[in-house]
Amino acid sequence: MTATTDGSTGALPPRADAASETDSTTPVAAGVHEAAVRTVQRATDFLLARQDAQGWWKGDLETNVTMDAEDLLLRQFLGIRDESTTRAAALFIRGEQREDGTWATFYGGPGELSTTIEAYVALRLAGDAPDAPHMAKASEWIRTQGGIAASRVFTRIWLALFGWWKWEDLPELPPELIYFPTWVPLNIYDFGCWARQTIVPLTIVSAKRPVRPAPFPLDELHTDPAHPNPAKPLAPAASWDGAFQRLDKGLHALRKVVPRKLRRAAMRSAARWIIERQENDGCWGGIQPPAVYSVIALYLLGYDLQHPVMRAGLQSLDRFAVWREDGARMIEACQSPVWDTCLATIALVDAGVPADHPQLVKAADWMLGEQIVRPGDWSVRRPQLPPGGWAFEFHNDNYPDIDDTAEVVLALRRVRHHDPERVEKAISRGVRWNLGMQSRNGAWGAFDVDNTSPFPNRLPFCDFGEVIDPPSADVTAHVVEMLAVEGLSHDPRTRRGIEWLLTEQEPDGSWFGRWGVNYIYGTGSVVPALTTAGLPGSHPAIRRAVTWLESVQNDDGGWGEDLRSYKYVKEWSGKGASTASQTAWALMALLAAGERDSKAVERGIEWLAATQREDGSWDEPYFTGTGFPWDFSINYHLYRHVFPLTALGRYVHGEPFARKPLAEAKGNE
């Protein structure tokens, strides 16, 4: 048994509200229960041992090699690329190349053109020769897919910085956009916060059109090097795509006549907007892409690298680097300590760790200190709403998110803290903020209210990922679950959220997962929320969900879903290699629906017990998190631990709060 950081063994005493652990009388059921108890113990010890001394947990956040390639391109552009960083980044990028010479955006996924182009260029910067076998294989594949001309806009922007693509052949993004009031379509607040933070600095880059001398040509990445920038045909004028293509042509023409004084003023206003949103750690929004483009934009406006804003920005980017034992260097797109900490806290308490365990109290203290008590960009739409949310990252006060806030409240409710009044005040602020962020349709998005404009996704510039933040089933479910635990099941606002969830159920009984893969995540989020809010397990929506989950269980007893379900729904919905996190999501839904003694649950528990590693963890190379459905996928390295522990804990001890009326479920009495 592994010792925990407080010197205890992590042994799990019986929970006062635990479901009977001796109800099952068959030898098979008894054996499954005993295996679950052993698995919970090992997983608990593993997770407790990995808490930071300050009280937080954080797993690596793995995405794809565009983060690493763009980091090298940034350093090349600024003239600060060094050999040791380049060597370490190249080692990681080479290690991610597939047998066919390509790079994918997720484990086991198909080769992706833009990702492969950026990885190839980064390796050229690192000194890999174009005729080396791994490089020749990549360039040949790139040409068969249409070459650089077929890549996404963001890739061609990076190439334009070095003259490998023409700026005039890119969509125009005028900095005067910063002046659009919120009632004008395509104002910056019509974009999701991640897109907004990226677009504002890119308006400066687009206006400046900088070109640094290219260190080598890239003729081998064009289908026709003599004509690398082929003109694309316009869509019909009566179509949305055609209309926005013609708008872009008009913006290119406007560029030639816009008064220079106005343009300079717009760029200065955009720069002020950027600087005002720099976080205390030097980053922007706690995510890598806006930070990279903000540094470039300010550099183009004359901010030298020793300026405090620039120095802090570059230092923040270094903190996204994860150095591996083999000397490779991986860049995280983001870091997830608040999310990981609240999920770990929930998992440990549901697994039977005492609510006043010193490590849980330390985690609660850290989460309490992370509550955001000042307005951010969300207040543009909700100016009268007092702050009180939590962000995803270490530092991101401008963009707290609704999902984290709901889960932090659920985590704090599970901990018996020595200062209950402080906890109550924090929870009250968080609940009030979440309620105030409800969209008109009764549901919740991740960061903003009613961020549903249809226009941003139509822009030629926005050809990659989601650029708006509409309400989603998984976020709404987490908020509804939190509100139910707070005794607000019958509040009209909660009921509207429940009604929205019921209308969003797919015909097959599942729910779409916006921030996790995919229908298993959505269903695993919604069913526990609905039952916590008072819907019985016999409700038709719950029964349909149970039937669907049972129908997609793998032969080995686990559940899995490939990211291709976002693109090819019918073929891939609920289908994929079994993973620990997705098996846990399915089990959490089935347990919430009252299916503890079902064969499906028994087989799922057996799979988790059988696949646990000796150290108490699980192996999960598959990506089960989502940034942008299909386009940008995430492997949260802590998901493989916290969610199985949560599911196993609920199997052993029963559903949290389930044995008390909702009005009495608050607190830890």
Q: Active-site residue numbers?
A: 403
In whole angstroms, what is the distance from residue 651 CA to residue 591 CA?
7
Q: What's the chain's Rg over C-alpha atoms?
A: 25
Q: Give the list of residues 6+ apart from residue 136 with CB closer than 8 angstroms, or none.
A: 101, 130
Phi-psi region at 444: left, alpha or beta (left = phi > 0; alpha = psi -120 to 50): beta
Q: Are 83 and 391 in contact (CB under 8 A)?
A: no
Q: How many CB atoms lie within 10 A of CB 305?
A: 13
Q: Check residue 287 and report its DSSP letter.
A: B
Chain-centroid distance of CA 204 in Å reads: 27
Q: Are 390 and 367 in contact (CB under 8 A)?
A: yes
Q: Are 72 and 125 in contact (CB under 8 A)?
A: yes
Q: Are 392 and 286 in contact (CB under 8 A)?
A: yes
In the chain, the largest separation of any two C-alpha atoms, in whole Å, equals: 83
Which residue is listed with tokens 């976020």?
475
- The CA-based dihedral angle spanning residues 33, 37, 40, 42, taken in that order and rounded to the nearest 10 degrees: -130
Phi, psi of 192 (to 5 degrees): -60, 155
Q: Are 643 and 584 in contact (CB under 8 A)?
A: yes
In whole angstroms, what is the distance from residue 314 CA to residue 186 CA?
30
Counting DSSP H helices and E strands in the chain, the numbers are 23, 5
Angle made by CA atoms 304, 309, 315, in degrees to the nearest 5: 95
Q: Where are the alpha helices (DSSP H) in 145-303?
A: 153-160, 193-208, 240-255, 260-276, 288-300
DSSP secondary structure letters along 508-555: TS----SSBSSHHHHHHHHHHHHHHTT--TTSHHHHHHHHHHHHT--T
End-to-end CA distance of the chain: 30
Q: Tokens representing 499?
A: 């009604």
In whole angstroms, what is the distance from residue 518 CA to residue 560 CA?
10
DSSP E strands, 577-669: 625-628, 632-636
Fill in the amino acid letter for 615.
Answer: D
Q: Are 126 and 216 in contact (CB under 8 A)?
A: no
25 HSE (CA, 13 A, CB side): 0
In whole angstroms, what is the distance from residue 403 CA to residue 479 CA?
7
In whole angstroms, what is the distance from residue 354 CA to residue 651 CA?
17
Q: Check residue 264 and report its DSSP letter.
A: H
Q: Tokens representing 8?
A: 């205890």
How are beta strands 632-636 and 61-62 bridged, if at all?
A: antiparallel
In whole angstroms, what is the distance from residue 68 CA to residue 320 CA?
10
Instruction: Spell out a b/e string for 188-201, using b for 16 or more CB atoms within 10 Å of the CB, else e.
Output: bbbbbbbbbbbbbb
Strand partners, 410: none
Q: Check residue 100 and report its DSSP letter.
A: T
